[in-house]
Structure 1
Amino acid sequence: MEAASDPLSWESIPSTPSSAMRAVKDITFGSIAGMVSKVFEHPFDLTKVRLQSQVLDTTARFNGPIDCLVKTWKNEGVRGLYRGLPAPIVAAMLENASLFMSYSELQDVIRRINSQPMSHDLSLPQLALAGAGAGAITSFLLTPVKLVKCKMQVQMIAPGPLSASIPESTTTAALNSSLGPISRPLPGPIAILTSVIRTEGLRGLWLGQTGTLIRECGGGAAWFTTKEFVGTTLIKRRGSELTRKDIVPWESALSGACAGGIFNFSMFPADSIKSTMQTEEDLRPRGSNAPKPTFLGTAKAMYKAQGVKGLYAGCGITVARSIPSSAIIFLIYDGLSSRFG
């Protein structure tokens, strides 16, 4: 009775909430899950971006993920490992809120088209379609935030004022070893955002959109269907009469872990190309009159430079961190949905 008298109590929400209330819950739960997972995974994401961004360099700055983590820790400290964190926190909130809300709404659209009741469980192909659509919608929100994040994550290894007096013949490896920790002032996310708008216009914020669209569209389908398939399989082992709503925490975590690994491995080349495009001007400036990098052009250059290996630079550490990260996301999301949904 006390819960029912409190208008702000989650318990007072009807068991069959309206579409608007469900959307609010999807946004809230998705945002919380995304923020928590991003704090855990950011150092590994930073490593991935730095490894991806060096594919077109004549001399690699880092010999692999461990070398990158060690050098970042040595030269930049804990702050360096979390460089650019505000942008990914915002991205995680946008990404997960948009993904879960769009995924739920698109499932309802599919049910209406097929004249199915709203409580009907969709098939895996239908869930894949809803997941792909959710990813496509989310990609347009993500690209500007990912652009700022990538630029911040390569700030400490980008050419700058400290290297102005160094001879052009100096190799990248020699430059890295001679400079040591870089102390030049670095722009924050707002400064980077305004700089891109000032030099490239609003359109410049969506540099790499093709890569983000491919990654999120294909990844959304893989992420949600893998989670649903593994989760449903685990649930049915406990009883054939149980449904997706009967999932328990360890099943959410395990199915989410599988989904994270498959998503990132299957869509990794698109993400590599996107990251390289977004850091090209910072690491290899070509001048204001040079043509802007394109998705296909960057893909061809990366393949020519290092073959398939270049397209998968940083893949190992990305898949490794995505497994616990995705487990955290679904553990939190399903837990909140079960408690307050």
Structure 2
Amino acid sequence: MEAASDALPWDDPPSPAVRAAKDIAFGSIAGMVSKVFEHPFDLTKVRLQSQVLDTTARFNGPIDCLIKTWKNEGIRGLYRGLPAPIVGAMLENASLFMAYSELQNVIRRVNSQPMSHDPSLPQLALAGAGAGAITSFLLTPVELVKCKMQVQMIAPIPLSIPQPTATATLDSTPRTLPGPIAVLISVIRAEGIRGLWLGQTGTLIRECGGGAAWFTTKEFIGMRLIKQRGKELTRKDILPWESALSGACAGGVFNFSMFPADTVKSTMQTEEDLRPRGGNASKPTFFGTARALYRAQGVKGLYAGCGVTVARSIPSSAIIFLIYDGLSRRFA
């Protein structure tokens, strides 16, 4: 006769549905809070990326871009296009954390490992890459709308979507500005549903490689910090400051390593707004745009806006993991 188990009912691991719901909720909250903090810096990054192919630069660098945006557009200018990335950040982090968690479970099952087993770094990298690949398909339409809205005020000609109020542009020319829904509808009308995934290759490369780098960096540094307190401790024993520090490092590594793909993606998504070529022109491609950027300014062009992006990603990523790990501990 087998011995009775000492496990209590409430010690059982949560069901897949409950686990997924927690990942979605915690990831959404973390993404929303971090995006409010980082949006002005993201806007600066997109505007710097979008001018690489221009013969004359509008901004001399990130500080100049922030100052001119504040001077000409005020606080609303710094947060132009915020609704789309808020939604995007919630989708991104919810999808990333849920897919990352579930892919780890798939890896455990494939390797006949118990669900309590901590995967190796290569296994975590694989789960992170898979999570990023899945998330990229949700992100591209949101980032397309965001990028188009972030360059509205520097577009050389008035946009064609009417809105009830006009706003002065950086060159002091009154201009009517469309909202996110109007931008979304205009893309669908012009390009069809497929047009929403313009720049998908860049997003896929960025999120796939970035997901692997982001999660493995966080897990590696986090575990090193945890093990300094006790070899018997596991990933679940991470302290708030350890979450923040390891998350900060992960954010810097992610953005620096995958930045050229993001530059190409942003350039493709803003090309029609800033340098319209007419309806008969061929659509921009990822590798064609990458070659054009490299010919224009070399490696420097591919890293336009990288400094401000890495700088804002460090505290932003720290916030994400601090909130996610904190909620996971509180509601485990």
- Assess same fold via TM > 0.5: yes
Identity of matched residues, %: 85
46, 71, 85: which one aligns with 1:74: 71
Q: Write the deviation string for residues 77-117 of structure 1: whole angstroms up to 9, x where unpaired.
A: 00000000000000000000000000000000000100001
TM-score (norm 2): 0.93
Shift of 1:185: 1.5
Shift of 1:183: 3.3
Partner residue, 2:111:
114
130, 134, 138: which one aligns with 1:137: 134
CA-atom RMSD in angstroms: 1.3
Q: Does 1:251 align with 2:242?
A: yes
Q: Does 1:235 align with 2:226?
A: yes
Partner residue, 1:5:
none
Q: Does 1:287 align with 2:284?
A: no
- The within-5 A match list for 1:1-341 is 16-161=13-158, 179-180=171-172, 182-341=173-332
Q: Write the deviation string for residues 258-309 of structure 1: whole angstroms up to 9, x where unpaired.
A: 0000000000000000000000000000001100000000000000000000
Give distance in 2, aligned partners of 1:56 and 1:160: 17
Shift of 1:14: 6.3
Give distance in 1, aligned partners of 2:237 and 2:275: 52
Which ranges in structure 2 are unaligned for 5 or more consecutive residues?
1-8, 160-168
Q: How many pairs align? A: 315
Partner residue, 1:8:
none
**Which 4+ stretches in 1 moved above 6 angstroms?**
none
Change (3 A) 1:278 1:161: closer
Question: For residue 228 of structure 1, what is the amino acid of its counterpart?
Answer: E
Partner residue, 1:166:
none
Secondary structure (helix, strand or coil) at the match of 1:267 reads helix
Q: Write the deviation string for residues 23-81 of structure 1: whole angstroms up to 9, x where unpaired.
A: 00000000000000000000000000000000000000000000000000000000000
Shift of 1:184: 1.5
Which ranges in structure 1 are unaligned for 5 or more consecutive residues?
1-11, 163-175
Give distance in 2, aligned partners of 1:14 and 1:87: 40
Question: For residue 58 of structure 2, what is the amino acid of its counterpart?
Answer: R
